[in-house]
Amino acid sequence: MINKESLNNLFRILLVFCILFFFYKIFENYNLIKSQLIENKFKALIILIIFIIYQILLSFKSFFLLNKYTKLDTSFRKWHEVFFTSVLYNFVIIFTGIIYKAKKAKDFGVPYLKYAVMLYFNYYVYIVFSLSVSVFILYFLDNPYISINIIVLLTLISFLFLYFIPNITIYLTHKVKFLNKNLFFSKILNLIIQVKIIFKNKELINYAIFFNIFIILFEIAIFYFVCKIFYNDLNIIEFFLLYIAKFLLDIVFMTASFFGFNEVIFAIFSSALGFKFELTLFIKVTYRVLLMISAVLNLFLAKFFIKQRYYHNEIIKKNDNLKDNKNKIIINKKNKKKYLLTVIIPYYNNKDKELSKAINSVLRQKKINFKTLILVVDDHSKNPIKLKKLKLVNINTKLFKIKIFRKKRNEGDSKTRLMGVKLSKSKFIAFLDSDDFWHPQKMFSQIKFLIDNNVKVVGSNWNNKTHFSSYLTMNKEYYKLGKTKLALQWWPHISTIILERKFFYQTKANRITNLRYGGDGDLLLKLASTNNLFILKENLVTCHYFKKTYTDSGMSSSVEKMNKGEIIVLNNNFDNKVIKSLLIIWVKFKYIVRTRLI
């Protein structure tokens, strides 16, 4: 007796055989395929351009219809990136792209049920419309193959029948008590009811038909150009027979996801209609390869070109001049009495004049209209800090308050900063080393950037230096750093950072490695883990102003220990072994250069 498992095994054997046979045929006729593509390289280029436009249209169609049905909490740019990532997932593993897209749609505020309904709606309208066009074409063509007419007509009738299934199923589930009580059937019923509702939305159906007209025209044009590469003498009847055969196998019977199997089945089906097996196989292979290349190019465009343009328009407003005295930071009225920012200054055995200069640089900030707490955390220095001994400018008590917290034991900069974060209760936190000082516009520039653009963390250039990434972006105001770029050139300085307090915990920056050396790098890598560490190109901080050289004094004076600390930090923050190894080699190389210069 043939059971389900036997059928599955039979299908797997057939699938593997078709894939092996597919690669055998490609290898056997490699020179023929190569020569045909070289001869028709201009056609191939045109096909690739049409493919790119066609896939952008598909992406926009799915975004537009989903947005009409249920509001998407995202832009087309972000959806475009998701769409083409899902296309590439489908090429690698069957149907994973659909799951990926559903997960991302949920992140954008679309429940799985509504996404499933829209997926069914899109698929149904496209197939019924395409089959109707196919029946119309076959009716007017002098087609000797009556069998394909019957197949297309029966398929259309079966899909039209699916329109009435919601009514039948709803009637049955209401009549049969068992179906009503069963959780699985109740979920299916809910899906069917939603499908029934969506088919009553005439506006949505009109939009779907409008998009499908253009999509089918693009598909016909692309497939025609691909066919002409291998069949120069192809007439219109033969072309539409091949197109309908491709449509039935790819869309209706959903074999397109099975790479190799789909191509072989299409070639067998086409050879039954009188076409050469090898040529139809090569047509389908060329079609798939160009489809994959265009998907990769579209994803590249989404990630590198479109993203930069759109993100610049969304994040940085053209009329937002940070240096304009009339500009003010908008603060919620409820939060006016609370501290908006806490400036955390770790301190250990520094001179009074150094600490005074650091605190004064905060007190001298310009255009400030919010309350700020300056929190000095003493890492158990030999001599406790005495506020009265510090030479400070007049303090505006309405805006600034200074607190000193002394730890019971010495633990290093990283633990000291973490203590400051734990003690703070403000929305934003900033770090300032006791031997550095801020420029007067720092707080205004960075807090305004964070609030106006809904950004979580921002740094800046310092000591009139910049990161190599700033030369790779066309944006005049900022650049972004991810973990790898940051590790190649440790950047920015910790004293330039201002961030949301919640974001500090979201990136698990509170789980710092217990290091006396390399702690700054550990914190920066965690903040850059989301690839959204923004760096303003303004020079807003002066660091180590009293040092003659980088290794003059302080934690960085022990170059060997710093190097070991950096290696530990890289091991803890990078999972990819190749990237990790290359970065460690780079860090060791920098250590050799430093020791030679000392």
When pLDDT is cut at 50, 70 and 90, the band that residue 182 belongs to is low
Residue-averaged pLDDT of the chain: 78
Residue 544: closest CA among 253, 350, 336, 403: 350
Strands 478-481 and 400-406: unpaired
Residue listed under structure tokens 């006729």: 29
Average pLDDT of the segment spanning 184-190: 60
Q: Which of 30-44, 228-242, 408-422 has the highest mean pLDDT?
A: 408-422
Do residue 301 and residue 234 come from a single domain?
Answer: yes
- Is the same domain home to 206 and 69? yes
**Is residue 5, in this structure, part of any structural domain at all?**
no
On whether both 305 and 419 belong to a single domain, the answer is no
Is the pLDDT at 331 greater than 80, yes or no? no
For the cut 60, the answer to whether the pLDDT of residue 555 exceeds it is no
183 part of a folded domain: no
More confident residue, 88 or 597: 88
Contacts of 583 (CB under 8 A, 6+ apart): 484, 487, 488, 570, 574
Q: What's the rounded mean pLDDT across residues 77-95? A: 78
**Domain boundary residue among 311, 329, 362?**
311
- Between 458 and 216, name the one with better pLDDT: 458
How is residue 418 written in tokens? 């973490």
In-domain check, residue 172: no
Nearest residue to 427 (alpha-carbon basis) of 325, 535, 334 = 334
Same domain membership, residue 435 and residue 297: no
- Average pLDDT score over residue span 554-567: 71
Q: Is the pLDDT assigned to residue 460 strictly greater than 90?
A: yes
Of 295, 311, 327, the position where a domain reaches its end is 311
Name the band, by pLDDT with cuts 50, 70 and 90, for residue 337: low
Is residue 590 included in any domain, yes or no? yes
Q: Please report whether residue 17 resides in a domain.
A: no
Q: Are 510 and 430 in contact (CB under 8 A)?
A: no
pLDDT of 501 over the 60 cut: yes
In this predicted structure, the answer to whether residue 156 has a pLDDT above a threshold of 70 is no
Are residues 215 and 125 part of one domain? Answer: yes
Q: Tell me, yes or no, whether 138 and 217 share the same domain.
A: yes
Give the model's pLDDT for residue 356. 92
Mean pLDDT lowest among 47-56, 114-123, 167-176: 167-176
Is 70 exceeded by the pLDDT of residue 325? no
Is 306 in the same domain as 345?
Answer: no
> Does residue 302 sit within a domain?
yes
The answer on 403 and 306 residing in a single domain is no
Q: Do 234 and 361 share a domain, yes or no?
A: no
Per-residue pLDDT at 159: 57
Give the domain extent around 98: 29-163+199-311
Same domain, 144 and 263: yes
Give me the mean pLDDT over the 519-535 stretch: 85
Q: Give the pLDDT band of residue 327 (cuts 50, 70, 90).
A: low
Asked if residue 467 is part of any domain, the answer here is: yes
Residues 368 and 289 in one domain: no
What are phi and psi for residue 533, nearest 5 degrees? -85, 105
Q: Which residues of 119-130 are buried (b: 16+ CB within 10 A; e: fewer)?
A: bbbbebbbbbbb
Per mean pLDDT, which range of 58-67, 144-153, 387-396 is the poorest?
A: 144-153
Confidence grade of residue 498 (pLDDT, cut at 50, 70, 90) = very high
pLDDT value for 48: 87
Do residues 232 and 371 share a domain?
no
Least confident of 320-324, 344-348, 541-545, 569-573: 320-324
Q: Look at residue 210 and tell me if it is in a domain.
A: yes
Q: Identify the CATH number of the domain in which residue 401 sits.
A: 3.90.550.10
- Total domains in the chain come to 2
